[in-house]
Structures are given as structure tokens and as C-alpha cells.
Chain A
Amino acid sequence: MKKLKYIIFLLVVLGAASCKQDELKDIGPARQVISAMKGSWSLNSVIQVDEYAKDKQFPFTTVELTDLYPYREAKLTLNTTEDHKPSTFSISFGNSPKFLKLTQGNWTVDNNDAPQTMTLTSGTTTDQITIGKYGLLDQGQLLLTVKKYQVGSKGERTLVLSNNYYFKKAN
């Protein structure tokens, strides 16, 4: 019986000694979203989303607007500082509908490492835009969404409509 105890103890010690710490795979450098956004972009498609219908699970939630007007003439340029912070922007609409108030000025984001909202500013005028999925940036695409809210009697805001602007990197 005593022998058996020693054997079990020995097996446990050997088992523990044979454990080796697994090396975790390197997840790579953090995604540089601002750097990826830098550059010239051409508007490729425009999709209108009925957020009110989507929320209520109604049918008919999107309409493609790209070919309705010459949206593809819109070009966006985003510049950054040397240390990869947002700086200036310009947008030329051509014959596309002017879906933003501004054509040039400065752009900022809510968080430089993981931006969700982008603000275009010139003087006292601003445009607030939501930045879409970062994964699209890897494919040379940039999704910018202009959201529209219905304001209730107590000032509460309900998202009812989104206009999604898909840009592709211009070379």
C-alpha cells in the first residue's frame, strides 16, 4: 500500500515536471486605423438603411442609391500629422449630391486608437460621421455612415435612418 502511494506521488511529480508553458502566438502590432484612413478615397456606393424598420423587424430595410445620382464623382482626402493623428480633409463632390455640409477643414476622431466617430469641422460648422468596420480598411474600403435621429418630446433621440457611404482607396 505504501509502495502504491510512493508510485502515485512519483507519477504526479513527473506529470507536473513534464508540463511546459505554451507560448502564445503574437497577435501582431495594433491596428493603425488612422494611418489606414489616411489618403484619397473615391465614393463607390451609397446605401440607405431604414433603421426604424430594421429595429421593428419590418421588411424593406435598405435601398441602393448609388446609381440614382452621380455619387461616384465624390472624392475624399484625409490627411494626418507625422505622428498619425487626423489633421485636414477635403471633399470634392463633382456632380454628386452634397451629402455633407463641409468641403474642407479639419477632421478629428473620438479615440485615436479605436475611432468610432469622426468629426469634420470648419469654423462653427461640423459634420458628424460614424466610422464603419475596420476590417474594410484592410480591403482598401472605408465605410462612413451619416446617422439621422428623430427627437422625441423629452429630447430623447431615436435612430431612424442611416446613409452608408462606401469609399474605395483611390490610387
Chain B
Amino acid sequence: MKRIYKLSLIASFCLIGITAQAQKAQIKYTVTPGVFTPEDEVVLEIDLAGSSLAGKEPYIWAFGPGDAITNTSWTSSPDIAKFTKVADDKWKYIFVGTTFYNKGASDIIGKPFSFLVKTKDGGIQSEDYTPTKFSPILFVPTLFRNFPLRTSQYDALSLYLDQRYTASPNNQRFSPTSINIRILDAAGQLVGQEKKGLPIVKQKDGSFGYTFLPEILFGIPEGKIVNKAVYSFTGTVKDVNGATVPYTTEEAEVVFLDLK
């Protein structure tokens, strides 16, 4: 009897989990501009059609550099969190990072802009989305750098690793030899095959780089829209016993814009 009780309890928890998962709506969205600083005006447009949020009044719940000023109460979002209707199930929300998060630009730069869409009472919510990170206003040297800073899938892209600008001991001392790159569409699906072990070139300033045309390296089919490139550098490092072992950095990404 005890066993049946336990099993039914587990089953109930699973059911609750599945229901909660099912309630997370998958929505379509666009962010304009696709890459932005904390001081740029950003327009987030959403399309709720076909999701469990369709026909509902949507509210934003944003996070990343911390809670946005709209995140007051999950069960009663304030009016400032409400999207503005565009047409049918299409809505938009306009914000500037510094006022939206009530933080200085330096507290926001490099942090992700993450959001979900919910009903006022939080009864229905979308999945979490993180379209991009806030770009710097001033040039800040970092471990990873891409050139150009604003790019499209049709333009040459250079990815650099500068080991002078990292707090991680392994990132500082490993011997970089190659780069791994993959490109993803808006749904997060892989486009073409991930390229591993592409040889990097030492630059005059001591950094390492790799330059490529995405459409040639990945053979992107004509008309296919690619959302971002995700990359990491690889090489070798000495472990605690002095043995040479493979090492891969954390991943970084570049968002492709629809440049005209």
C-alpha cells in the first residue's frame, strides 16, 4: 500500500511538472536593433498567435543584469510592464536598458537581455528568451572580440582571443591552437556542420584570430537566415601533474544582423 502511495505521489509530481512545462508558451519575437548598447532604444515585438498566450494581454518580465523595473509582483504585473498592441496577437514593448533596469550602463554592459512574456497574474507564461547581450558604449578590451562589431551573415567575420584580458588562470596560460565555430538559426537549430579545430593565426598585437565568410565556411543554403555564431578557442594546458591536456575556453557568440 505504501508503495502504491509513493508511486502515485511521484506520478503526481511528474504530472505537475509536465503541466507546468506545457503552460510555457513558445512565442515568436524580434528585437530591433538586433545588437544594442544600454543607451539605445530597443523595440521588442512579439507574436502570440498559435501559443497559449494568444488572445491574452501580455506583460514583460525581464532579467539578465538583474530584475527590470517591471518585475514588481509575479501575480500582478504593473501597467508599465504591459506591451502595446500592434495588431491581433502582435504586440511591442519599447525600452532603454539603463532606465529599464534602473542601473548605470557599466552595470549592464556585457550582461544578457533576457525576458519572458506573461499574463498579468502570471497564470500563463512563455519560455525564457535571451536574444543578445548589451554591447559596450566605450571600447573595453576583453578575452573575446569580434570584427566587425555589427555584422551580417553575408559579411566576413573575424573572431579573436586576447589572453591578456581574462581573470581565468587557464584562459591566461593555455596555448591556443584552433577555434570551434557553429552557426544557429533563430530557433537555435544548427545550420551546416559545426567546424572544429580551425587553425588560428597569431596577430601583431599578440592575440589570436580567425577570419571567415559564414556563407562559404558553412555552405549556408540561399535564403536561409542565420541568427548567430557560437565559438570557443581550443589548445593545450599543463595540468597539476605537469601533463599536457586539451583545453577549451567557454563559448562566446556573435549575433548576425539584417544589415541593409
Contact = CB atoms under 8 A, between A and B. Distances in A.
Interface of A: 48-53, 56, 58-60, 63, 65, 68-69, 97, 148-153, 157, 160-161, 163
A151 B147 contact: no
Interface in B96-146: 137-139, 145
B156 interface: yes
Contacts of A50: 147-150
Instruction: State the main secondary structure of chain B at its contact with A.
Output: loop
B155 A148 contact: yes
Nearest to A62: B147
5 shortest A-B CB distances, which residue pairs? A160-B150, A50-B148, A153-B43, A58-B139, A148-B259
Q: Report the contact-size class of chain B (Cβ under 8 Å from the partner).
A: 20 to 34
A163 B155 contact: yes
Given A97-B216, A150-B257, A52 B150 contact: yes
Q: Taking each of B138, B145, B259, which has the highest tally of chain A beta carbons within 10 Å of its own beta carbon?
A: B259
Interface in B127-182: 137-139, 145, 147-152, 155-156, 158
B150 A56 contact: no
Contacts, number: 82
A148 B260 contact: yes
Given A59-B139, A63-B211, A97-B216, A152 B149 contact: no
B259 to A, nearest CB: 4
B220 interface: no
Contacts of B10: none
Contact of B155 (A48, A52, A58): A48
B149 A53 contact: yes
Given A50-B147, A53-B149, A151 B156 contact: no
Contacts of A68: 156, 211-213
B213 A151 contact: no
Contacts of B216: 69, 97
B69 interface: no
22 contacts: A48-B155, A49-B148, A50-B149, A50-B150, A51-B148, A63-B158, A63-B211, A68-B211, A97-B213, A148-B155, A148-B260, A149-B259, A150-B33, A150-B259, A151-B258, A152-B32, A153-B32, A153-B41, A153-B42, A153-B43, A161-B155, A161-B259
Contacts of A148: 152, 155, 259-260
Given A63-B211, A161-B155, A163-B155, A151 B149 contact: no
B94 A153 contact: yes
B95 to A, nearest CB: 11
A49 B160 CA distance: 16
